Structure 1
Amino acid sequence: MPTLSAPALSWIGLNSIPGVGRTTFRKLVSRFGSPEQALSASEEELRERGGLSDALVSELRAYPWREHAEKELAKAKDAGVSIITAEDAAYPMHLRNALDPPLYLYVKGALLPEDANAVAVVGTRKPTHYGLTMTHRIAYELASAGLTIVSGMARGIDTQAHRGALAAKGRTIAVLGCGIDVAYPPENKGLMEQISHAGRGAVVAENPFGTKPEAGYFPARNRIISGLSRGTVIIEAAEDSGSLITAEYTLKQGRRLFAVPGNIGSPNSRGPNSLIKEGALLVERAEDILKALKLAAAREKKADPEPAPRISLTREEEAVFRCITNEPKHIDLIMTEAGATAGKISGTLITLELKGLARQLPGKLFVREE
């Protein structure tokens, strides 16, 4: 059942008023004691005690905050989403102590006390095979040791980090840069449902229902990724990657920063290699992170994922499957290499996806499923 705390109405209501950002919200709460008391204060009190301008006082009085908040709470109830305010006991401990923590979180799934031992794993949306392999390995090993993997549900490294944790039957938290009801990227809708519905973690967001994934929301999301975690691992990031914003927040919040080194000739390696030169801990395996955080394995570590049983394939499916690799490959090239016809290649690829052997990426690219 979703958690909708009684104070959530006033928290959402006050935060919804135009001109009341997180800074003003906190100032009002510190001076009046709670959002509810701030909303019920007189205009004179809001000016003198609250320090608000005449324009903001007028906005606060005129804005239908209660109607807005009630609609938001109704959406949460219908969607099975919990709303956890910063004063709730369930609010994540590390996030509460982070820089500029969210006033409240939309949560689908469950945040558990064990998620206090969490590590963020983030990186580029356009990884190499090396980056994907290292991400899966590190996320899998950390999750096997009982740590929760936090990432941003973006294409590439983030998605692979979530999948690695799930493959280890561990927990993962996906932090969205949009509303919690918006599947972004669209191809990760199933992954979001797998995380939130199977007791394997939680999908969380700061933004209201219906918020589209605009560029300005992602730096704010990155501070939450870092804030939830004891440390952050950067795996493949160009010099202008948003992952480096997460790295910056990690250092500002006094958390440990880790980086996986890469080929010096690859643009994707410039971010982590630079971080290592500046003092980030070089990581080759999950054990490096566990030692740095002084964490013993919380549960028995699995050596490797159990090999999947052999799946029966037709001759055509086998021919196409052999042409799919861990590097993204266009459908036209697969068709040529497999000697398949244009009329059959799409159906064969769909069958391989349904059998869990292949995965489609944007641009009609396909890779082998891990």
Structure 2
Amino acid sequence: MDLTVNELTSASSLNNNSKTLVTDMEKSNEMQLKFDDDDDDEKKSSASSESVIMTSMIRGYQLSQVLYVAAKLGIADILACHNRMKIDELSKLTDTHTPSLEHLLRALVHVNVFRVDEDGYYYSTSLSKLLEMNSSRSSVLTWVQPCFWQTWGSLLNSIKTGKSSFENLYGVDFYQYSGQNPNINSTFNECMASGPRHKQFVKIYDGFSNANCVVDIGGGIGRLLMNLLTKHKHLRGILYDLPHVINTINLQHLDKSVAERFTIIGGDMFTDIPIDGDIYIISNILMDLNDEKAQILLHNCRQAMKNGKRLLIVDVIMSSSIDVSTNELWKEISYLHMLVVHHGKFRTQLEFQTLLENQNFKLNRIIPIMNSLVYVGSILECIAT
């Protein structure tokens, strides 16, 4: 069939449009293929990143042990003292196998705990200073010590039973065990004394002006009470803890005016409590106890206190629901630690109120404790009623 000029023009136009459409489709397909390739690359990259994250979590326990061994050997203190040192010198000072120690330090170089130069000299970093004797070294030596390490190996048992695995492994609770092991006792008490909750508590609590006597129940080596008496010159303080804990306390370094106001009493908080204090402090204690033991301790406190006197509980308050917008992983991990080691737990505000009301305490106010804008605990101010 012959086509007219108009038809030819229309056909030509249609043909040109078709060519343009085909060209556009080809370009579109090329772009789509590129996008698909990009998507594949992104998916591969995402999968790779997720794999790295998962592997880091799975093998995180190995890095914890590497840090523990470095702290136990005192590597950070040696480097701080000598400025820099080669591996053979470090090996000689720490009585270790040189090639093995080198791989330990190289692992820590990768996470910026130490630094090594091209000549093989190892140096301290800002992170390694946290492993030094007078810093948070006790924290590493406490949380990764063998008895905690082995107890966490029985976490599955605690999840199934809701009970501590520590006593199953060692036959006694942790505090009895630490009483039988002086090194563990010393390291643990130092770790508890150096925590951020205590330091911030001394700074922010404003209720000591009308008090004369403060009783720190389970106060460990007395660091919190010493700091309170140093800041508040009018206060007298009573430190009350187990005999094996208070036997390690040395008051020789204290200012005379503080030492004269500092009294140490040994005893068992589950049996009785020193009487007639104006303010009683229970810091980092209730989290270690199940509800039954917590009730006994609060009952003993109330028996020792007159109406209107104050009980200050320093602890962590758990949210009643998960807030994914905030990083509360440390709370959940710490909760599991309280469970597997002590058969204790963190509590919600409602759970605290129930415990307190059962023992004739009124929850007066809650003061959040922040450290560098991060929540680390709360002060629960309670009134004996």
Same fold per TM (> 0.5)?
no
Per residue, is there more helix in 1 or in 2?
A: 2
Structure number with greater Rg is 2
Q: TM-score, normalised by structure 1?
A: 0.30
TM-score where L is the length of structure 2: 0.29
